[in-house]
Structure 1
Amino acid sequence: MRIGLLADLHANREAVEACLSALVRADCTHWVFLGDLVGYGADPGWVVDIVRTHVRDGAVAVLGNHDQAIAHPGDRMHEQALAAIDWTRTQLDASQQAFLAALPLQVEEEDRLYVHANAWDPAGWSYVASRLAATHSLSATTAWLTFCGHVHDPALYFSQPGDAALFQPQPGVPIPLATSRRWLAIPGACGQPRDGNPAAACAWLDTANGQLCFLRVPYDHERAAAKIRAASLPDAFAQRLLTGT
């Protein structure tokens, strides 16, 4: 089985369409959505609907902090992000909002854990942005392979004595994951990359041979940015799509 993984879709229809198409071409037949379906982007309804359709067909989706904020805004988001959440709420009908509210914080599937933020406190929304944080997350689960979103940069960590090691994946190059190690993979943001590359990020896992491959997928980020501006959302969100920062 080959699993397609998308994180941080952020209401970016163009990026999601491009990643789904690329993963279909890579022979993916199973799907995992690692949270933050909404926020920042201009097409929240479309993204929620496409993920909901996949979930009805057997896909996995987990709750992200932006998804949770539709019902419970909280106090951890900056002003612009909250403005986007307020706007997003007006774009979603009751059934779409209910779908987001019902998403689980984490899902275990065979030897894999899917979670948006981290394994040690999924509802606390702390980032796995360092070797120490990766070690903390790996220590909180017995899963051989953990997939996270939340951090918008692709990364791959693996267990070793002491803190986890960081491996920087190269797009399009399959990585054999040794069964003697435990792994934590962050596919990167589909809908709002922040590593200086505007191409959408996603990944696939081949469960038969234990290979993981990170992808970067060019898409019409200028159109997605123009839609953000047309919706009168904060311009910074459009600019991020153009620069990937």
Structure 2
Amino acid sequence: MKLALLADLHANREAVEAVLEHAQSQGAQRYAFLGDYVGYGADPAWVVERVRELVERGTAIAVIGNHDRAVVLGSAPQMHADARTVIDWTRKRLDADQLAFLDGLPVSVSDGPRLFVHANAWAPEDWGYITARADAVRSLQATAARVTFCGHTHDPCLYYLATTGKTGDFSPVSGVPILLSAQRQWLVIPGSAGQPRDGNPAACYALYDTDEGAITYFRVPYDHEAAGAKIRAAQLPQRLAQRLDDGQ
């Protein structure tokens, strides 16, 4: 089975459409959505509805992210000003069913040897970031899953923890499969589909071949100028549109 992994979609319709089309062209049979469907972008209702459609069809699983939780509960003073503005704007554009869908999403999903979570495995609802190898090891040591898939950091990366205690990480190259050795635990961060932050504006996602035990990361160009124009037209913080152009 080929499983497409999408994280941090952030209401970016253009990016999500491009990624789903690319995943289909690569033979994706199922989808795992790793949270943050809303926030920053101008198409929250479309993105939430697309994810909900695939989940209800039985071809996808989805977990909740911190931005999704914030939309359900309402923005909080400690949030970054731009995020708070977009959360408040987003709440007015989702209907009751869409909000209920987000509210009903689990914080994590276990599927045999695989764990799906937005932020980390050690305290999923505290939304702590995995930004270094030590964070990845902490997450891997908190679960028995052989492969953990998570988002939240927006940058694509791959970490491992061997049975000997050896640790390591990879900076994946788009389109190049990496075999996930059975002698190691792995933590897969596919990067952000809707708001990459590694200096490359192309959307990120990964494809996991469960039969081969291999993960392939992809970068998918999309019309980020159109997505940014929608942000500007909605009079959301202009910096959010520039970030799509810069990949930052």
Q: Common fold, TM-score beyond 0.5?
A: yes
1:166 CA drift (Å): 1.2
SS at match of 2:72: coil
1:162 CA drift (Å): 4.8
TM-score when normalising by structure 1: 0.98
1:35: which partner in 2?
35
| Matching of residues 1-245 of structure 1 within 5 Å | 1-58=1-58, 59-72=60-73, 73-160=75-162, 161-162=164-165, 164-245=167-248
In the superposition, relative to structure 1, how do residues 77 and 30 fare at CA in structure 2: closer, same or farther (>3 Å)?
same
1:165 CA drift (Å): 1.1
Paired residues of 1:152 and 1:188 also in contact (CA < 8 A): yes
1:138-183: CA deviation from partner (whole Å, max 9, x where unpaired):
0000000000100010000000355731111101001111001000
The alignment yields a C-alpha RMSD, in angstroms, of 1.0
1:70-109: CA deviation from partner (whole Å, max 9, x where unpaired):
1223444201100000000011011101111111000011
How many Å separate the matches in 1 of 2:100 and 2:218?
31
Code of the aligned partner of 1:153: D
TM-score when normalising by structure 2: 0.97
Paired residues of 1:117 and 1:126 also in contact (CA < 8 A): yes
Code of the aligned partner of 1:79: A
SS at match of 2:217: strand
In the superposition, relative to structure 1, how do residues 135 and 75 fare at CA in structure 2: closer, same or farther (>3 Å)?
farther
In the superposition, relative to structure 1, how do residues 163 and 41 fare at CA in structure 2: closer, same or farther (>3 Å)?
farther
1:34-88: CA deviation from partner (whole Å, max 9, x where unpaired):
0000000000000000000000112100000000001223444201100000000
1:18-49: CA deviation from partner (whole Å, max 9, x where unpaired):
00000000100101000000000000000000
Paired residues of 2:118 and 2:152 also in contact (CA < 8 A): yes
How many Å separate the matches in 2 of 1:217 and 1:178?
27
Corresponding pairs, count: 245
Code of the aligned partner of 2:63: V
How many Å separate the matches in 1 of 2:55 and 2:231?
27
SS at match of 1:188: coil
Unaligned runs of 5+ in 2: none
Code of the aligned partner of 1:109: D
Paired residues of 2:76 and 2:84 also in contact (CA < 8 A): no
